[in-house]
Amino acid sequence: MIVDDKKEYLLQASVIEARHLKPKDAGMSNPMVVITCGNLQQQATECIQANLSPCWNQTFTFAGMQLTHTELQNAELKFEVFSKNRFKQNDLIGQFSVGLSTLYNNSNHEYYQVWLILLNPDEEPDEAQGYLLVNCFIVGPGDRPPVHDANDAQNQDGDDDEDVNIDAMTFEELRAYQEKKQGIIVLGKPMVARKAFQLSCYIFKADQLCPIGGLGDDGKPTLFVSARAIGLVQRTKPIGGTVAPVFNEKMLFPCYFPFLNDKIILRAWHASKTGPDEFFGNLPEVPSPNDYFNISKLVSLGGRIPAKWINLYSIPPKERNKLGKKKKHPREGTYFMGRILISFAVLANEKPKVATVPTNPFYDPETQAYRLFCDIYEVKYLKEDQIDI
């Protein structure tokens, strides 16, 4: 069992430049980058006026992060590129989310000279809204920060003159080459390898749900399930009045290889009519880098995981903090709150979607097999009892 003690982490993120940002105002944008790490205070770059390929070269440090193992698995580093407005709300150009656990499990606990493909949840999910070049690393107790010199930085534009065949160039290529040699450079799109996948999170049904005090229908919760992946959140419809709700829904997320944010975070909630939604339980209770809730793990297993019952554990309802009254409870949930039948699929798809749609019902084969085994067992011994030996 994982001991969920808090450990101190330090994260550093460098925002270097952006290219080919989508314009937001009269064919131009005033880009700035807002960086969010977990629940720490946001930090931001300066705003560069009227530029679609800005250069910042700014570094930000998030120090003193106290995280448990579970919090590290679920936390994210988010880069959001906005076009700043003086008299109205800033316009989101695009964003990208890096999972802290995915970052920590990478070589040297870092991503170095990585181009992020910016996406906007309000736009087409597979259409790049621009590209952002970043460095980032996270270190914990006993870890050393990575060290690089100037020679480690990759040549993003292929500026080397080796193997340049001037005679084979077209007129346009020759003119661009001459302008480049004179210091006039037109920045192109960075070479980013991207393969699109469709992540599908299937939520079929729940069973044996625990009543929560203070609710109607004998405390039966109005349950819904939320899923967070690649920085986007979706949820099923809420169903109440039963301890065995049937959802039969799937939540679709676009994701791209290489996966810089592996985690799929599922949580169950009670939909409250009079206040904020009440947390019901985590799926699973304690996440790990090698469970089924990791996109890379799913791809390595062929992209499909058959339906499985996942138990919900949480803090006992009577021991939760309510109405400003703090109650003592264990750090990890130890109270069985029910179970949910789920499945995942990660398959190559050139046009991935963002949506929550109905899906075909899934009939639990394990329960059917168990009942069938019991029936055979009873028939077998019933016949033997009737035989006169």
Query: What residues have CB less than 8 Å from 312, skipping those under 6 apart?
Result: 268, 280, 281, 282, 283, 285, 336, 337, 338, 339, 340
Q: What is the dihedral of CA 356, 361, 362, 367, to 10 degrees?
A: 130
Same domain, 11 and 59: yes
pLDDT band at 127 (very low <50, low <70, confident <90, very high): confident
Asked whether residue 154 is domain-assigned, the answer is: no
Phi, psi of 275 (to 5 degrees): -155, -165
Same domain, 176 and 200: no
Asked whether residue 291 is domain-assigned, the answer is: yes
pLDDT at 251: 97
pLDDT band at 328 (very low <50, low <70, confident <90, very high): low
Per-residue pLDDT tens digits for 223-236 = 999 999 988 899 99
Asked whether residue 151 is domain-assigned, the answer is: no
Give the end of a domain, one of 133, 152, 181.
Answer: 181
**Domain assignment of residue 12, given as a range:** 7-143+166-181
pLDDT at 43: 97
Same domain, 73 and 222: no
Asked whether residue 155 is domain-assigned, the answer is: no
Per-residue pLDDT tens digits for 245-304 = 999 999 999 998 889 999 999 999 999 888 888 888 888 888 887 788 999 999 999 999
pLDDT higher than 70, residue 156: no
Count: domains in the chain: 2
Concatenate the DSSP letters of all residues of 83-141 into one string: E--SSSPPEEEEEEEEEHHHHHHSGGGEEEEEEEE-B-TTS-TTS---EEEEEEEEE-T
pLDDT higher than 50, residue 325: yes
Distance CA 344, CA 306 (A): 7
- Average pLDDT over the chain, rounded to whole? 81
- Long-range contacts (CB closer than 8 Å, 24 or more residues apart) made by 359-362: 359/202, 359/204, 359/248, 359/249, 359/250, 360/248, 361/204, 361/246, 361/248, 362/202, 362/204, 362/205, 362/248, 362/307
Same domain, 240 and 266: yes
Distance CA 143, CA 196 (A): 34
Q: In what order do the strands lie in the sheet with 335-348?
A: 232-235, 223-229, 264-270, 278-283, 304-314, 335-348, 195-207, 246-257, 355-358
Asked whether residue 383 is domain-assigned, the answer is: no
pLDDT at 258: 85
Instruction: Pick the more confident residue, 154 or 210.
Output: 210
To the question of pTM greater than 0.75 for the whole model, the response is: yes
3-state secondary structure at position 34? strand
Q: Could you tell me the CATH number of the domain that includes residue 357? A: 2.60.40.150
pLDDT higher than 90, residue 5: no
pLDDT at 45: 97
Same domain, 174 and 228: no
